[in-house]
Amino acid sequence: MKKYIVALFALAVAAVSCREFEPVFTGKYPDTPLEQPATDEYALARFGADAFTTIADLKKLYVKHGEPVEIFDPIVIRGEVTSSDESGNVYREMFLQDATGAIDFKIGRSSSYDDYKVGQILYVNCSGLVLGEYGFKDRDYSGSGQLQLGLKRNMAMNLDKGEFEAADDYETSYIDLEPVLRAKVLKGAILPAEDRIKPKSDITGAQILSYGYDEVVVQKMKPQQFQLSTNIQEPLVGMLVELKGLQYANNVFTLFYPNPNLNHTSTDGKNRVFLSLPNENEQWESYDYTYGVPWWALTKLRFSKMVEGAKSVSAPQFSDYADVLDAGVVNLLKENGIADVVDLFATTPKAIADKKIAGLGAAEAQGAVSAIIDKMDPETRTKVEWFTLVVGSGSDKFGSMGKISTDEGFFGVEMPYIDMILTYPSAQSVSQYFDYQGSSVAIRTSGYARFADVEIDKVLTIESSGIAIGMAVAYELKKRLVFARKNPSLLMQEEMYTCPITSYTKKEAKLVYVLKKFLQAGENVLIIDDFMADGNAAMGLANIVEQAGGNVVGIGIAIEKSFQMGAKRVREAGYRVESLAKIASLADQQIIFEED
């Protein structure tokens, strides 16, 4: 083998030494030339159309919920790409927008951000494609969804009926096939930043509230105020918008399937469980409904632990809260099938009021719930909330998952729902709700951002081990990275902020330095470091930010040693600390991580 390696090396030397001044190969090949972008004239000629159809006019073809429209006419749209799946969101689809509106284009490609750039013009021949709706609600909620452009919906054989029917809830399917994409899509020029569509930034909370799907909200609004719930062609749907000043609300949303291997469409409610604000419970909105899930995602481990916690619950009884409950209300609840606290949590005040129980309405039921919540410790409440999650979809409710068993005819076995769920645990994406000028905005993401609710101007870290993670965070945020030096350079002749920091590992105090020109008064600064032990580095960096007149919006730590007092000390000082991992113990040379 050695002689072959030597021979190849000699050949390589001979190849590059023929001429004394031959350029040295650096390992970088020339960039692949970009394909020639299509023009308006070329796209119209290629697709056989006389003029472009606006996206607003395309959307007008869809006139009735539940009836997707197959397009046969030579309709060609010209839209700008306004979304990117680089962060993992907008999965297998993209949004195209023109001056009249926007459409969700089900391209069927993942990681398409390199082929279809934000700001690029796309020409789409809609002939042969299907216009369908996603997200229409017609039961416990009301409102239109958003229109999507894709292929015909998937069909499957119903063996009982002996006929084909829709295989899922979607009116369109992904295009996915490269030959179809090449036949239907032309890529145009990438517009310079100054010529691209700008986000609509004047959306008010009142507008969003009037576009809401919630039945209770809609009933409060005048008909002309909730356009989105009645107008499927509403131009704002799908458009690029900018909302500033969002704040985390007190509830989350996710949907999971007890057995994800079985059918889980909205028509099969037995295989659907929601984490969300209880339906028609506007009275409960002042309470926390995060179900103990403050994250943007649930790992398989965290999800399993949540369900296991619910399994450990012995249903709290009304007698446990006798000192805060009205005895007459409790008796009326029991007489009408609400036997304990679990039943009460699983029943909405509106549902109780609908029973027409003399002397017991929504207000009385809400009063009982409020009294129990105010007394119940948070850990117990989280377990009870998971225990009382309702199995079902829309109007089809089958009971709380902690109290009922699976349907043998559907699942093939009868067993406690919780056991079925623990048999097929999986990671779950979580939608977070935000408050925006009095309205509620749900943001869905497959990513995770612990500081998504704050404005960040700069990222501050400390040399040298903090620089790598600080650089990664600053790069992701597209913000400037500043790092504090432990040993000032001879070139640092300008004014500096300083603070003594005692190293936990070296047991010595050192001044750290940041040039004053790098931190300005009023700036929102995120502090990033790799480890937190006693918290001295974080407190020192926070001191420097405050010397500059800035605001510490948070402290992000890769690994927190929670068995030491540093993080507790920093949090008690009023700073927000977020850690990616927490080490509970290093005893006996074993690393034991704290499980969230």
DSSP secondary-structure letter at 35? P
The domain locations on the chain are: 40-206, 247-443, 458-593
Whole-angstrom CA distances from 506 to 292, 338, 445, 503, 509 are: 38, 62, 41, 5, 9
Mean pLDDT within 446-460: 74
Cα distance between residue 354 and residue 237, in whole Å: 35
* Predicted confidence (pLDDT) per residue in 387-427, tens digit: 888 888 767 788 888 889 999 989 999 999 999 999 998 87
For the segment 139-181, what is each residue's pLDDT rounded down to a tens digit?
A: 444 456 789 999 987 666 566 666 666 556 688 999 988 899 9
The pLDDT value recorded for residue 88 is: 67
C-alpha to C-alpha distance for 24 and 22, rounded to whole angstroms: 6
- CA 259, 260, 266, 267 dihedral sign is negative
Q: What is the pLDDT of residues 528-555, one digit of tens each?
A: 999 999 999 999 999 999 999 999 999 9
Q: Which helix (H) or strand (E) holds 482?
A: strand 480-484
Peptide bond connecting 439 to the previous residue in cis, omega within 30 degrees of 0: no
Question: What is the predicted pLDDT for the residue at 31?
Answer: 46
Q: What is the DSSP string of 553-566?
A: EEEEEEEEETTSSH
The mean pLDDT of 258-282, rounded to a whole number, is 77
The predicted-structure confidence for 63-90, as pLDDT tens digits, reads as follows: 887 889 999 989 999 999 999 887 667 7
Residue 547: is it exposed, middle or buried by C-beta count within 10 angstroms (0-12/13-18/19+)? middle
pLDDT in tens, 285-339: 456 778 888 777 777 878 888 899 888 877 778 888 888 888 888 888 888 778 8
pLDDT in tens, 179-202: 999 999 999 999 999 999 999 888
Can you say whether residue 505 is alpha, beta or left, with left for phi > 0 and alpha for psi between -120 and 50 degrees?
Answer: alpha
User: Which residue from 185, 195, 199, 58 is spatially nearest to 132, judged by alpha carbons?
Assistant: 58
Residue 115, pLDDT > 60, answer yes
For residue 16, is pLDDT > 70?
A: no
- Provide the pLDDT for residue 406: 93
Q: Are residues 477 and 459 in contact, defined by beta-carbon separation less than 8 angstroms?
A: yes
C-alpha to C-alpha distance for 514 and 201, rounded to whole angstroms = 36
CATH no., domain 458-593 = 3.40.50.2020
What is the model's pTM?
A: 0.62
Percentage with pLDDT > 90 across the chain = 34
How many Cα neighbours within 13 Å face the side chain of 266? 12
